[in-house]
Amino acid sequence: MTSTSFMMIIFMILPIFSWCATSTVAANLSPANLDGLKAQFQTAMKSFSDVASLHYTLAGIKELGVQPPDSFCNDIKKLVDKSNIESIYHATEAAKTLANCKLPVEDYRSVVTSTLQSDKSTTSEVYYAVSSSVNLGLTVDEASIEKRLNALAKTDDSILSQGYALLTGAQLSQPVAKFYADTVNDLVQQADEIDGRTLQYEGGVGTTALLVSAFYEVAEKAGAAMKIDPKQLHKFASYFSTKRHVATLRSAYYLTKVFKYLSDNKNTMPVVVTRVSPSAISAQNPSVLVSVSNLLGQPVGEISVVAESAKRKDDGVVVISKQKLTSKASDFSVFELPFYDTKIPRGFYTIHLTLTPRGDGKLIGLTDNTIDVKVTSEGAIENAELSVSDRDNTAQAKTYKLTYPNVQSEKLELDYHQKLVLKFQIKDKRTGEFIRVQQAFLRFTNKKSNKEIIYLAEATDGSNSQYKVEVDLQTNANDFRHQSGAYNAALILGDQLLQNAYEWKLNDNIQLSFHEDSQADKNHQNLYVPRPEIVHQFRLDEVRPPTIVSLVFSALTLLPLLILFILWIKLGFNLSGLPLGLSPLGFHISHGAVFALMFFYWKYLDMFQTIRYLALISIPLFIFGHRVLATLAARREKKA
């Protein structure tokens, strides 16, 4: 198969795949995902390097209903770090999952006690110490723990720290747990809302699942209902339901744990509505099957489902209203909605469902459930004809009638003075109407090189929707790269609303002749081979003049200074007239500073920096210079 034909298949399949992959508003954790979590834990049980991984693995597999063997007790004792409170916590939690695994209490008492008494312990360390104390049967001072948690709340208000505070409160007495249970609603308000559909916390699925699990644990210990708005709980559930795979064992464990809380009928339980039948509705698949379950895919009890409406997406036309679905299972987990009807035209539809439970169940997500379906039809290719004519239409065209799926046996010969025209129509077998499709192509294939040339078939305006492809061998010669020879022609049709795609070979022996020499095919594989390395070449240094030239110009530069010295000697230069004092000294220092500034300007500074420094030096230079000149003038007056 060539790359061109592969792309054609992609173009035809992609829209259909994208439609089938469209999910409903809520999505339950399917058994495949539960198996995936279980496989993740079972794989980790075969190879682990630290006690934390072992804890999350054993606890996670137990949440899924599998009792881990007691043989892991020895691994816990080997991996635990007796000087680290977090390691001790993971060891005690892992041992708790086993039927018979006791850890030596005295080996951990000192570390647990010192952590609880330390004023440097973090919220997570306090939780680790309290949970380890409970697991080991040690007594805890609730007053000191509560005091420490209050102090930590003032210095660390991160969401994860508050989550550990809730988990710690769930390990203490009921009054303490009730205090923390009352703060759940405040923590819910700190969650980030995404697209108005989901709620999550910064830190991802692991942090969010830990927080929501803490909500349930502290409310359960307090003996009160969790204080959270049902709409917010449903948004949390929507977020968790999108997490099909997680990267870490910690996230997998807390995700499994929160799914069990959300699927417990003692709690407020989100209802998940999904389509379990194919999205395409046809005579062979006339009904829509809908699954009603919790997040673990389990039945939620006796419930009725009503299709409030089914609207066509193109124009909003309602084709079904207030139709009750029929239960197909004794546990009310699957419901059926007959949808295929000759009165319902082909197209895309959105079905709005409303659920009504029997009794006073704590179910949420009963309204605003939608599922998407499409009504498909079987098409028929009719009025297909292939004609060969001169480019200037001077001679009568030869027209050949074609019938699907037959292949034309007659050999066709065309040269660069001629053109080939294909016309056809597509009829909906159910309604008898002519329809348009999303993809319609005419493909030529060189029988020698298998090179493909594809042309788009365009539909004419009007109710007949006749498709036409015209290939002029002179204007389109470059498409064939002027390669004369035998070709076959095939018609390719595809549409999301057609039950089947079509690839109809029209003629297997078409001889094309071009007047110019053929051009070699491009080797598309060369597009992916390594290119020659690009070596950057810097500009070569300019050729310098000989050394003697540089020396001569340097001497000419110093010539004015030499002339100055000669003139001074001729005029009788001496220092006897130089006045002594602070002003002359300051003047010469300032004057020398100006010359030094000129050097720095030439070497380091720019013009603006030089002007700024010159302005500062000019002040003392002016003052001292004025005083020196005044002194010299006074001397001359005395001599006079």
User: What DSSP line would sit under 259-274, residue for residue?
Assistant: HHHHT-TTS-EE-EEE
Which residues are CB-neighbours of 407 under 8 A, at least 6 positions away? 505, 506, 507, 508
- The pLDDT tens digits for 40-50 are 999 999 888 89
Q: Which of 219, 240, 267 is the last residue of a domain?
A: 267
Same domain, 487 and 612: no
pTM of the model: 0.69
CA dist 436 to 14, 17, 53, 103, Å?
18, 20, 58, 74
**Would you say residue 336 lies in a domain?**
yes
pLDDT confidence of residue 287: 93
Q: Which domain holds residue 183?
A: 34-267
**Do 221 and 296 belong together in one domain?**
no
Q: Is residue 530 part of a domain?
A: no
Pair (480, 586) in one structural domain: no
In the chain, the amino acid numbered 440 is A
Chain length of the chain = 640
Residue 61 lies in a domain: yes
Can you give the CATH number for the domain in which 80 is found? 1.50.10
In a domain, 566, yes or no: no
Residues 403 and 314 in one domain: no
CATH of the domain at 344: 2.60.40.1220
In sequence order, the β-bridge partners of residue 351 are 310, 371
Clarify whether residues 468 and 505 are in a common domain. yes
Q: Which stretches in the chain have pLDDT values below 50?
A: 1-32
Residue 281 lies in a domain: yes
Report pLDDT for 391: 84
Q: Say if residue 171 is in the same domain as residue 41.
A: yes
Same domain for 195 and 95, yes or no, is: yes
**What is the pairing mode between strands 269-270 and 363-364?**
parallel
Residue 207 confidence (pLDDT): 94
- Classify residue 529: in a domain, yes or no: no
Domain presence at residue 531: no
Which pair of structure tokens corresponds to residue 625?
A: 């210079």
Do the Cβ atoms of 51 and 79 come closer than 8 Å?
yes
250 and 182 in a single domain? The answer is yes
Asked if residue 383 and residue 338 are part of one domain, the reply reads: no
In a domain, 546, yes or no: no
Q: What pLDDT does 542 receive?
A: 82
**Domain count of the fold of the chain:** 4
**Domain end among 351, 375, 399:** 375
pLDDT in tens, 377-426: 999 999 999 999 988 877 788 999 999 999 998 899 999 889 999 999 99
Query: How is residue 263 written in tokens?
Result: 């699927």
Domain termination site, one of 512, 537, 552: 512
Residues 190 and 241 occupy one common structural domain: yes
Tokens linked to 372: 């998407």
Residue 132 and residue 105 in one domain: yes
Angle between helical axes of 607-639 and 582-603 (0-180°, round to 10):
150
Query: What local confidence, expressed as pLDDT, does residue 575 receive?
Result: 64
Residues 210 and 88 in one domain: yes
